[in-house]
Structure formats: C-alpha cells, structure tokens
Amino acid sequence: MFPATAQPTPASQSSAPRHVLAWATLLLASAAVFLLNPSYPLIEPDETRYAQIALNMIETGDWVTPMLDGQPYLDKPPLMYWCTALSLRFMGENEFAARFPSTLSAIMTIVVVYLLGSKIVGRRAAWVAAIALALCGGFVMAGRFVILDAMLTFFTTLCLLSSYLAVRETKFSWSWWALAAFACALGVLTKGPVALVLCAPPLVASGWLCADHTRPRVLQWAVFIVPMLLICTPWYIAVALRNAEFMDYFFWEHNFKRFTQGSNHREPFWFYIPVVLLGMFPTSLLMPLVGMFLASRSQRVGAHRTKSLGFLFCSAAWTLLFFSLSSCKLPTYILPAIPMLCLISGTLVDRVLCGAELTVRLDCLMKTFPQRTILTVLIVWMGLIVADCWIAGAVTWVTIVAASLSVAGTIATIWLWKNEISAKPVAWAATAFVGVIVLGFASAKLLATASYARSMHVQMATLVEKYPERLVVFFGEKPHAVRMSFPEMKYEFFPMEQRQQFVEFMARHQSAIVVTADEHIALTREAIASSHRLVMTTDHEHLYIAEPINDSVPRVARDENGERR
C-alpha cells in the first residue's frame, strides 16, 4: 500500500525567502482563527469546571490534589490545571488567561506539524498540512476552549513525529527519541495512560509492517519509559498518598471501566466517521480524494505513497480505531488523529502542485477542488451569518460586511469557474484564504455570540445590576468560576444535601436571586413553597427570582410574643 521509499526531494523544499513567507502566513492564519476576540464568557459546564479547579489551586496552594466543590477531583492528571492556574496567576483571572494553555497548545501543534512534518513529507507538503490543520473547525474550537484535548493533541503529535524521525534513518537518533519520550510523559501527565496508548502502537505496527530498521528495539523502549517514570511518577505517588481512593478510581473506574463499559456518552462504533468529517471542515472536503489517493492501485499513485506516509496513516487509523472501540465516546477524543490526516492531505496537495500525474479521475477532481470548496465554504458562511443574527436577535455591521463578502465571493467564484486561474496554485491559496476568513468569523463572532447568549454568568450579571440589594443563592447548581465574572460579589452556596439549611436561609430573607439546576427546579420550588415563589425573569433555565409570599418571611422572624427578633 505504501511501496515508495523516496524521501522528500529538493524540489519540494523552498528557498529562505519563501520559508520566511511560509512562517508569516502560518502565524497570521493561526492568529486569525485563535486570537481574535478570545475573551467571551466561559461556557458551562466544562470550561467553568476546569477554570474553577485552577482557581482552587491558586487559592489553597495545593498543587497536588485537584479540588472541586471541596472534594478531590481525581478524573484527570494535573498538568492542564497547573498551566491554567499559572496563566490565571500571571495574566489575571480572565477568560483569555483561562483559555491560553489550550490556545497555545493548538498553535504549537500547527508549528510542530510544519517543523517536524518538513523532515518527513517535505517543507511544502508540511506547510500545506499546517494550513489545513488551522482550517479544521473542530481543532480550532478545541483550541478556544478550556479542555484537555488540545494539550493532549500537541503532546501526542510531537511524540509521534519525533519518534518516527528517531527510527526513520538507518542510524537511530537518540535525541529525537528522547524528545518523543519527554512529550509522551507530558501527555500522560495531561490525560493519563491514553497518551502512551495512542503513541506506542502506531510505531510498533509501522515497524512490523515495514520489517526494517524502523522497528524500535527493547532497549530503546526501556529508555523511552524513563522520562515517564521521572516526570509522572512523583505526582501519581504524591496524590495516591493523600487520597487512598485514587489508584482504584483513576486507573480502574475512570480509565479501564470507562473504556470497556462507558456508562456515559455511549455511541455506535461508526460515531467518529461523521465527527471527523464535521470536525475537520472545511479541510475534510479533501478526505474523499485522500481516500482515493490511498486506495488507488495505480502504479503512478503508488509511487507517491512512501513508508513515511504509511506511518502517518497507521497513526491516524489507530487513533480512530481505538476510540471507536471505546464504549465512552466524545467528539473531542478524536482530536489527536487530525494532525496526521492533515499531513497526508498536505502530501496529496503538494503532489498536485508539483504537477504530478495521478489517475485521470483524481487529477480531474483535484483540478476543480478549489472552486468547489470555495463555493461550499461561502454557502456555509451565509448559514453561519444567519445563525449569528438569529442567536443575537440583531443584525450588526460585522454580519452585514460578512454577508456582503460572502455574496461577492460566491459571484466571483462562479464567474471564474472555467477560467484557467482556477487550476493554478493561486486558486489553492484563495481557498485557504477564504477558509481562514470564514473560520475566523465562526470562532471570533459566532462562538462569542452563542457564549453570551447561553452564559448563565452574563444573564446573572444583568439580574445583579437590576436588583443590587438581593442576595445570590446557589442551590444545587455549582458556582464554578463565578469569581472571574464577579470578583466582588458575595453569594451563598448550598449543595442538594443541605436542603434544610437552604430552606432556613431563605426563610430569613425577603427575596433573592436563586440559581438552581433545571433538573432540580421542582425540588427547589417545593423546598421554599411556604415562604417564596420562584419567578423566571431571564431565558436561562437556571436563574430565578425568589419573591416572598405575603408576610410569611416577617412572621418567621418573630418570636413567641410577636416581637421582632
């Protein structure tokens, strides 16, 4: 399937000025999709939960045991929490600081794809792959959220590419191998053993299939484990000594049983096929052509499928297979496969830009790909603009300009459909430019609009401003990361287990802003029915105004003789 043995040729490399230009365009594209308007409200529940864990570390000084709501939160290792806490400490307690570790991880993944990919598939193919990665909508969204998957993807990508560079040549490279081991260890400290599970099997499988020097030896694997023992073991031992339940809960319940039984987020085996296609959009429009490129039996096509490409395919296929076999499935789990798929896609586009002849059908489809993709992306952009206006309930100058550009771009694309320029490199450049503009709009405008519209903190701020004299009381609903939005606000929090304390507290107060989970609203109404009624004053299902019923509150506050206490 991957018969070619040739390495990237000098023709696929670029001169120094082009190298500088490549870096400039790559960084500008990354900035456009990741750094525009990064300070929209944190999205509940994941972002606020992880931000709160980091805030607790800063407040308590306990950097060993992640804490949430006064209890150890042992689901994940601490590296992401550490980075988030440091970011919040040095950049201030704000949304961008909370998201900065994820954003930096995503940008660094793009950098690694270009830097290390250049040594594997050639500089131009790696540059195309890096641009393609920046044009994967799901990857961009993950880099703009406080979640662990972007950081895990960075470390697994660095580990996989470094380890292959270590074994690719006849002479084994210990420096690349050490870098791979270090990256894998940090991946384990980010999300647990899954980092090792994602990185080791592709290297073993690729070496076994090639039956050559690319198969790592036992001694090399033994050395590979050393950084993991040095970096990860101290924390695992420390947290286990402080929390007796850690070993059983983390390794057995949260890793093994979640993979084999997965009581939450159960999905069918094929779940990740549409997830990859949607999560990589618009780059995923290349996937059918990539499939044809990989599956073709033509000798001309086979001559472009190197063993290096085979390793990238093994890495992406293993990640897809592993998470497809898991009982617990979430869309972001598949993120580590995306950089490898982009490197394969970049190789295909590079061959086309070099003028290589593949099959007649594949050549024809690749020739018209830029126009079809631009038209598709512009149509999707119109849909995003409509969604933004609908969510915001208003039309802004940004959406008017965006709609105008979308219409103009559509007309220009149709007009140039049969023009010779459509088959030249400038057409591919135009495709990337349009993709960056549309993803920039989706990440900086639409995502922010949706965040403001559904954020409990934003709507709570409106109520606090409208009723400054009323207390804010959380019942059941966790006040995660509230202090980032309201650093001076005082509030009360009662878990569901403290129902009686909540009832007594409410009986002593005339009115309050009550925050409760939507699944607990009936219990909340019942709990305070004798003293208050709940009135929904916003569109958010967690926010209510508790109004006193007649004089029930003053009566509760009187003694036996009718005197005020």
Per residue in 355-370, pLDDT (tens digit) is 666 777 888 888 889 9
**What per-residue confidence (pLDDT) applies to 262?**
66
Tokens of 463: 């109520």
Residue partners of 381: CB distance under 8 A and separation at least 6: 402, 406, 438, 441
For the chain, the maximum distance between any two Cα atoms, rounded to a whole number of angstroms, is 100
Cα separations in angstroms, 4 against 27, 170, 204, 205, 307: 32, 17, 20, 18, 6
SS (H, E, C) 227-241: HHHHHHHHHHHHHHH
Q: Is residue 529 part of a domain?
A: yes
Compute CA 410 distance to the chain's CA centroid, rounded to the nearest angstrom: 30
Higher pLDDT, 3 or 254: 254
Residue 16 predicted with pLDDT over 80: no
The pLDDT-based confidence of 414 (bands split at 50, 70, 90) is confident
Same domain? For 290 and 394 the reply is no
Q: Are residues 141 and 44 in the same domain?
A: yes
**Same-domain status, 382 and 403:** yes
343 or 414: whose pLDDT is higher? 343
Query: Which range has the worst mean pLDDT, 20-29, 97-106, 199-208, 355-364?
Result: 355-364
What SS3 class is residue 532? strand
The pLDDT of residue 214? 78
**Residue 560 pLDDT more than 50?**
no
My answer on whether 337 and 375 are in the same domain is no
Which residue range forms the structural domain that includes residue 374?
Answer: 368-454
More confident residue, 186 or 535: 186
- pLDDT score of 211: 72
Best-predicted range by mean pLDDT (337-341, 357-361, 517-521): 337-341
Let me know whether 100 and 119 are in one domain. Answer: yes
Interval 226-267: pLDDT, tens: 999 999 999 999 999 999 999 999 998 888 888 887 667 778
Band (31; pLDDT cuts 50, 70, 90): very high
- Residues 120 and 261 reside in one and the same domain: yes
Which of residues 401, 432, 454 is at a domain's end? Answer: 454
Worst-scoring range by mean pLDDT, 49-58, 289-298, 347-356? 347-356
What CA–CA distance (Å, rounded) separates 195 from 491?
40
- Average confidence score pLDDT of the chain: 88
Q: Are residues 57 and 203 in the same domain?
A: yes
Note the pLDDT tens digit of each residue in 284-322. 999 999 999 888 888 887 788 888 899 999 999 999 999
- pLDDT band at 562, cuts 50/70/90? very low
264-271 own/partner pairs: CB under 8 Å, 24+ apart: 264/328, 265/328, 265/329, 265/330, 266/327, 266/328, 266/329, 267/329, 269/324, 269/325, 270/324, 271/324, 271/329
For the segment 471-486, the average pLDDT, to the nearest whole number, is 87
Per-residue confidence (pLDDT) for residue 508, from 0 to 100? 87
Per-residue pLDDT at 8 exceeds 70: no
295 within a domain of the structure (yes/no):
yes
Provide the pLDDT confidence category of residue 83 given band limits of 50, 70 and 90: very high
Q: Residue 561: inside a domain, yes or no?
A: no
The per-residue pLDDT for range 156-206, each reduced to its tens digit, is: 999 999 999 999 888 889 999 999 999 999 999 999 999 999 999 999 988
Average pLDDT of span 125-131: 96
Rama region for 550: left / alpha / beta (φ>0; ψ in -120 to 50; rest) = left
- Give a yes or no: residue 208 inside a domain: yes
- The answer, yes or no, to whether residue 114 has pLDDT greater than 80, is yes
Considering the domain architecture, whether residues 36 and 154 belong to the same structural domain is answered as yes
| Bridge partner list, 535 | 545
pLDDT value at residue 14: 57
Establish if 34 belongs to a structural domain. yes
pLDDT at 427: 86
**Into how many domains does the chain fold?**
3
Residue 548 lies in a domain: yes
Q: Are residues 339 and 394 in the same domain?
A: no
- Whether 321 and 218 share a structural domain: yes
Q: Are residues 447 and 393 in the same domain?
A: yes
Q: What is the pLDDT of residue 366?
A: 86
For the segment 499-525, the average pLDDT, to the nearest whole number, is 87
Residue burial 423-439, b: 16+ Cβ < 10 Å; e: rest: beeebbebbbbbbbbbb
Q: Are residues 181 and 283 in the same domain?
A: yes
Domain boundary among 436, 454, 472: 454
Does 563 map to a domain?
Answer: no
Q: Can you tell me the mean pLDDT for 465-483?
A: 88
Domain boundary among 454, 489, 517: 454
pLDDT beyond 90 at 520: no
**Nearest Cα to Cα of residue 517 among 69, 73, 45:** 45
Residue 259 lies in a domain: yes
- Give the pLDDT score at 6: 53
User: Pairing mode, if any, of strands 512-516 and 532-535?
Assistant: unpaired
pLDDT at 3 over 70: no
Structure confidence at residue 298 (pLDDT): 80
Which comes out higher in pLDDT, residue 70 or 319? 319
| pTM, two decimal places | 0.91
pLDDT grade for 384, boundaries at 50, 70 and 90: very high
pLDDT of res. 2: 65
